[in-house]
Structure 1
Amino acid sequence: MDQNYLNLLKEKYPTPEAVYTELINLEAIQNLPKGTELYVSDVHGASEAFDHILRTGAGNVREKLENHFEDTWTIEEKDWFNLLISYPEYALEHPHFTEIKTAEWYGKTIIDLIEFMRFCAVKYTRSKLRKALPEKYTYIIEELLYTDLNQREKDLYYKNILTKLIALDQAESFIRSLSNVIQRLVIDHLHLVGDIFDRSSGENLVMDQLIHHHSVDIQWGNHDLLWMGARFGSKVNLITLLRIAARYGYLFELEKIYGLNLRPLFLHAEENYQINTAFKPKCSEDSTLLKEESEELLTKAHHALAVIQFKLEEQLIKRRPEFKMSKRLILESIDPETHEVEIEGERWKLTDFPYTQLDLEQPDRLSQKEEHIVSTLLESFQRSEKIKEYVQFLLEKGSMYLVYNNHLLFHGCIPLDDQGQFISVELEGQSVSGKDMLGAYDYYVRKASRALDTSDDFATDLMWYAWAGDRSPLFGRNKMTTFERYYIENSETHSEKRNPYFDLRDNQNVVRDILEAFGLKSSQSRIINGHTPVEVKKGESPVKADGQLIVIDGGMNEAYRNATGIAGYSLLNNSYGFQIVTHQLFKSVSELFRQGKDETTLKHMIDGKLGRTVIRETTIGHTIQKQIDLLLEVVQHIQVDESQE
């Protein structure tokens, strides 16, 4: 052990007794059941649905109510109590509760909440529980939690506290606080397996929740890297995310939230583009309809952004021949006289292409106005304090993959060939595949973050390749056919072939090989994936390879719901094993209270594991064990020092 570090530990624990106390505490923690983990992916700005999942613990609050109160409460009582805990502010103003709010009801409700909190906190030490308590009520909550009501004097003491809370008009505030603590206790740790951004506005609300979450990690998705790359200087990433915002009708929201300067874009679009229905925004069914003039402006801006994006993409493809994407140099294959384009040896008719916006001698060249638009947008995007805060958080809490509690988490795929072998990609002369490929991407993301004033270095360009490259572990398709979908009616050209990984991940041998490549050889290890919506309507299951791989993208965002038929999957992992969670469409809080229940459903999965998992067996437990080993070494040194005195 380093002598300086040893001296610091000896200062903190100057006597063997001090070390023994800490050792006993750590050993006790090691034998507690592991906390419940929640896995969520592909939020895509669906802030209300995401908030609902966190408030309800993805149905875990309701299940714990079922386990704790069992037959002593009716199903209806448990349903309403679940809504009270999940939405205390709304519940306390709802007629179901306002009609019964009396001093007696307040007292009983607080007792029930305290009792249920005690049940939810059974896995936690007192010190960890204390960190979850609101400062203004910590003392009162602890007194109520640890009071022995079998003693008459304590029973009177307990009732006196409740009476005073009610008399001082603190009962509702106290109920809200208890409910918020329970929400926190039912989920010990949150894993967000990629794609916070795009498809709808609301990513800022999701990010704000994540930043204030008590324990979270993130595995970056392709949409996350799109935003991160834009922050790090990638012009094409920025224009792409803005095009997506225009496509889904929330570009104006981004302008307001992040202070983007869209005026040059709007002026250019108004002057140079006509209405093309292919670029009409796809607004949410639940959103307020755009005014006609706003929709027209957004349609034109959408088209202008697409053209700028295609130009920037082709500049990058030429700049990076090592990406081997020359087949996607489409603009230079356009024939303005025949209104055709040649793609991979075949010619196709173009529909309403804006030929006047191309320099026919150099099609990928931005006009002077377009250059000004891009530079203005990039400057305002990088200057945004919110963007800076969000991306810094993604760097601190995020990574390309994570091995946690003997499970492997990554968003997209491990690129494979048809035989299930890892395929490689060359990055600055180094051939990488499998685990090394994901590690290399992680390295380059962090490298790009240190050079915000450059837009065409390799690290920043790779963050676009992660979005659209045929061997990208975050894209997982042979090409991105955005151009074809806008301008070619024949759907044959719209096809994007998935990497073999997505078909082979139902093969147990392939999944086992991937796990072993990441050092995971336990039969209990799992791969947790997002990225591809599970097509429930077609009978697809989120559980692959006999339970060795689980896909949790079930379509939380409305944009995917036609394919999935549900509103997303999430995954719970408690000390007994995994539970797959199916989420139904979240309409509104008022709709939940109209129904009087939450219809989230949990499906138990059999892991084949006997007994409960304790903290000693977890990633955190391994860290604690290292602390224990160090403290044992400290004891030896202290004893040696004492013997020499």
Structure 2
Amino acid sequence: MSYSDQELRLLQLLSRRFPSITAAHNEMINLYAIMALPKGTDHYLSDIHGAYDQFDHMLRHASGAVRRKLAQTFEGELTNQEQIELALLVYYPEQKLRATLPTLDTPADWIAETIVRLARVARTSAQKYTRSKVRKRLDPQRAYVLEELLSESEAAETAQKEQYYRSIVATIVELGEGEAFIITLADLIRSLVIDRLYVIGDIYDRGPAAEKVMDRLMAYHYVSIQWGNHDVSWMGAASGCPALVANVVRVALRYSTLSTLIDGYGINLRELSRFADTVYSHDPCHAFRPKVASPIEDYTSAALARMHKAIAAIQFKLEAQIIRRHPEYQMEHRLILEGLDLAAGTAMIEGRTYQLLDANWPTMGGRDRSVLTPGESELIADLCAQFQQSTRLQRHIRFLYSYGNMFQVHDGNLKFHGCLPVDEAGNFIHFPLGGEELAGPALLTRYEQMAREAFFSRDVQVRRAGQDALWYLWCGEHSPLYGRLRMATFERYVIADPVAHEEPKGPYYALRDDEAFCKRVLVAFGADPEHGHIINGHTPVKTRRGERPLLAKGKLIIIDGGMSEAYQHETGIAGYTLVGSSHVLILAAHEAFTSAEAMIRTGHDPTPHTEYVQTFPRRLLIGDTDTGTLLRGQLEDLRKLVAAYREGVLIEQETL
């Protein structure tokens, strides 16, 4: 067999890991065994919008997967209420222990029995994994004892073996380590129940604690993210894009979520406050009062309204500058500032004249209203510097870049946040971006490239072009993360006519209930048109109005159900999630989370309402997944390596 120079170099590199035929064969045995294991359980979430408590609870109960694992383990042994009590312990071990232990006559016996039960659940949950993978999820300080507990067979054991396990548990309790082991086992179960977590965009904005969500994601054992338009807004702000810095601050003021900016990321808004107090000192700024009335330390409601209006004015100017820089965006109709007649109190927008609710814009007095005043320029420069210098924010955004992208094809499914730029017939629209006319997957790929250049490029022009592309992704008509004809931010503030507030959806939103269209999309992106699904977020499913998350006969799934409280009055629920196991694909509808204490006190586990999307004709194995395809490629490389050893092309190395 002949080898090209490139193949030989790759085999030489591979031989460093597997220096002999025996080493290669051992790895091949391992890979074949892995492919025969059941596929791990995937958990899909979308549109978290800073709702940390709701998000954290969804992770803890894994959208009902923990309860299903308990039912599998204790079928016919424990009552439903006993399973609920054990589930609450798995979700919130510290709180449940504090509430339970003082009520017990013999807490040591309860602790011992609970450790045994949790170890059984952990063993059931670990059945899909290799020992090596399970070992990586064990608490290093207790790994040896945990491995012994997990290795107990469900089959009948000898009396000596049973005594051995009971001795381990008894010693744990006697040494006062029982509570710590219960907490460790609960954490391990939650880690094992879900193999991979997929977030379909919009981690940021609306809710109060996006930074906590990011910390939680960074600590998770496996996560993949498709960016949403709110995410790219923050990515652009962290890169130093002035328009998106202004947008992020404005949204935080509109929804009273300044804690993320101030406490989470250390952004100081005192200069904005001083500027606003000076320029808008006699302006009540009624239209800019926060949508969510919640107290913010050191700021009165009136002060927040002034700050809100000041940063909005800056944003409108900076957006006009981007539109002028990019005629290819075809957004000249959104140069709203040019149509203002402040003396008359009117605005000409897209050919129609509207009366302004607020005509007091003292920083827009020049001929060109998009020019920042010296005070505005100084203010936005300071804010941009703060965003770029926030260590925690930069760490979070780098994580978004490392583990996120515009779209992903995974196990035949296509995941992206919002929509696709298509015409009424369902054909991909060609859009000029980065000097080329692109459509479909190529357009999304170029958007992703420019998004990365916005943050990482050292070329000033390339970086700014990327930042402008991020802004377009936030609000552009042909943005796959937004996809409406306009974002009527200005109109919603200062025009009473509801017609001006409309943000008509692009054609994708009408076509996504067409099964044939969805199959064409899946084919175009290299997904499975027969068995795969399109998984989207972005548009809250208004269940109160009869809307459904399953479209196109289940071919398209929308999992934005209102995790953020700001949307729940429209959706009627607190979010949709999706769980894909080796047997089924399940859609879960969630109730609003109250508190762990309330659940424990009442003994109530509000398990989400579930709906089967797909039942697989046979249990899916790792060999059936994308991971299996990757492993088959590795096996082929190892076969070539073994052949090279046998042919004398490479020499086996002795190992100590």
TM-score normalised according to structure 1 size: 0.96
Q: What displacement does 1:388 show? A: 1.1
- 1:442 is matched with 448
Shift of 1:296: 1.7
Pairs within 5 Å for 1:537-616: 537-607=544-614, 609-616=616-623
Aligned counterpart, 2:638: 631
Code of the residue aligned with 2:290 in structure 1: it is: P
For the pair 1:282 / 2:287, whether they are aligned, the reply is no
Letter in 1 for 2:362: T
Choose from 510, 527, 536 the match for 1:529.
536
CA distance in 1, matches of 2:393, 2:650: 58
The superposition leaves residues 102-122 of structure 1 with CA deviations (integer Å, 9 ceiling, x where unpaired) of 211111101101111111111
2:388 equivalent among 382, 386, 392: 382
Counterparts in 2 of 1:236 and 1:615: CA distance versus 1, 3 Å: same
Following superposition of structure 1 onto structure 2, how do residues 155-554 of structure 1 map, counting pairs within 5 Å? Answer: 155-273=162-280, 274-283=283-292, 289-290=295-296, 294-451=300-457, 454=460, 457-554=464-561
> For the Cα contact (< 8 Å) 1:92–1:98, is it kept in 2?
no
Q: Which runs of 5+ in 2 are unaligned?
A: 1-5
> Conserved in 1, the CA contact under 8 Å of 2:265 and 2:393?
yes
Amino acid at match of 2:198: H
Distance 1:428 1:522, change over 3 A: closer
| Deviations 1:559-618, CA, capped at 9 Å, x for gaps | 111110100000000111210011100121122223312213242425363101110111
- CA shift at 1:100, angstroms? 5.6
Which residue does 2:3 correspond to in 1?
Answer: none
| Further displaced range: 439-448 or 93-102 | 93-102
CA deviation profile, 1:403-423 (whole Å, cap 9, x unmatched) = 111110000101221122211
Q: Which amino acid in the other structure matches residue 331 of structure 1?
A: L
More deviation, 214-223/4-13: 4-13
Distance in 1 between residues matched to 2:381 and 2:499, nearest whole Å: 36
Instruction: Please tell me the residue identity of whatever aligns with 1:375.
Output: A
Maintained 8 Å contact 1:41/1:193: yes
Contact 1:193 / 1:409 at 8 angstroms: preserved in 2?
A: yes
- Does 1:139 find its partner at 2:148? no
- Taking a change above 3 Å as real, the CA distance of residues 100 and 56 of structure 1, as seen in their structure-2 partners, is farther
Matched letter for residue 164 of structure 1 = T
Change (3 A) 1:542 1:644: closer
Over aligned residues, Cα RMSD in angstroms?
1.9
What amino acid sits opposite 1:622 in the alignment?
T
Write the distance in 1 (CA, Å) between the matches of 2:514 and 2:44: 23
For residues 258 and 601 of structure 1, what CA distance do their matches in structure 2 show?
33
Q: Is the 8 A contact 1:259 1:384 kept in 2?
A: yes
1:165 to 1:542, Cα distance in 2 relative to 1, 3 A: same
Q: Distance in 1 between matches of 2:563 and 2:613?
A: 25
Partner of 1:48: 53
Question: Does the Cα contact within 8 Å between 1:479 and 1:496 map onto a contact in 2?
Answer: yes
Structure 2 Cα separation of the partners of residues 299 and 416 of structure 1:
39
**19, 26, 34: which one pairs with 1:21?**
26
Q: Secondary structure at the match of 1:57?
A: helix
Choose which of 68, 79, 92 in structure 2 pairs with 1:87. Answer: 92
Distance 1:37 1:388 in 2: 28
Q: Given that residues 118 and 186 in structure 2 are in contact (C-alpha distance below 8 angstroms), is that contact kept between their aligned partners in structure 1?
A: yes
CA 1:124–1:357: 2 relative to 1, 3 Å? same
The offset of 1:294, in angstroms, is 2.1
Give the deviation of 1:299 after TM superposition: 1.1
| Contact 1:340–1:350 (8 Å) recurs in 2 | yes
The Cα offsets for residues 204-253 of structure 1, whole Å up to 9 and x where unpaired, read as: 11111111111111000000100111122210011001000000112254
- Secondary structure of 2:300's aligned partner: helix
Once the two structures are superposed, residues 92-136 of structure 1 have per-residue CA deviations (whole angstroms, 9 ceiling, x without a partner) of 001477436621111110110111111111111111111111011
Mark the CA change 1:538 to 1:97 in structure 2 (over 3 Å): closer, same or farther: farther
> Partner of 1:338: helix, strand, or coil?
coil
Opposite residue 287 of structure 2, the aligned amino acid is A
AA at the equivalent of 1:189: R
Are the equivalent residues in 2 in contact too, given 1:36–1:188 (CA < 8 A)? yes
Structure 2 contact 229–474 (Cα < 8 Å) conserved: yes
Counterpart-to-counterpart distance in 1, 2:620 and 2:290: 49
Distance 1:252 1:27, change over 3 A: closer
- Greater mean alpha carbon deviation, residues 443-452 or residues 574-583: 443-452
SS for the counterpart of 2:88 is helix
User: 1:20 corresponds to which letter in structure 2?
Assistant: H
Would the aligned equivalents of 1:233 and 1:454 in 2 still touch at CA under 8 Å?
no
Equivalent residue letter for 1:530: G
* Residues 453, 433 of structure 1: alpha-carbon distance in 2 compared, 3 angstrom cutoff: closer
Contact 1:334 1:342 in 2 (8 A): yes
Whether the 8 Å contact between 1:283 and 1:289 is mirrored in structure 2 is no
1:442 counterpart SS class: helix
The one-letter code of the counterpart of 2:38 is P
Structure 1 residue 263: Cα displacement: 1.9
CA distance in 2, matches of 1:488, 1:642: 77
Aligned residues: 642
Partner Cα distance (1:582, 1:289) in 2? 31
- State the shift of 1:435 in Å: 1.0
Distance 1:84 1:209 in 2: 20
1:269 shift after superposition = 0.7
* 2:9 corresponds to: 4
Which ranges of structure 1 fall in alignment gaps of 5 or more residues? Answer: none
1:450 Cα deviation (Å)?
Answer: 2.0
Q: Aligned equivalents of 2:61 and 2:13: distance in 1?
A: 43
Q: Which amino acid aligns with 1:623?
A: L
Alpha carbons of structure 1 residues 83 and 238: separation in structure 2 relative to 1, 3 Å? same
Distance 1:558 1:319 in 2: 37
**Distance between the aligned counterparts of 1:241 and 1:447, measured in 2?**
20
Q: What displacement does 1:156 show?
A: 1.5
Find the counterpart in structure 1 of residue 104 from structure 2.
Answer: 99
CA offset at residue 319 of structure 1?
Answer: 1.3
Q: How many Å separate the matches in 2 of 1:208 and 1:496?
A: 33
The one-letter amino acid paired with 1:333 is G
Structure 2 CA distance for aligned equivalents of residues 121 and 450 of structure 1: 40
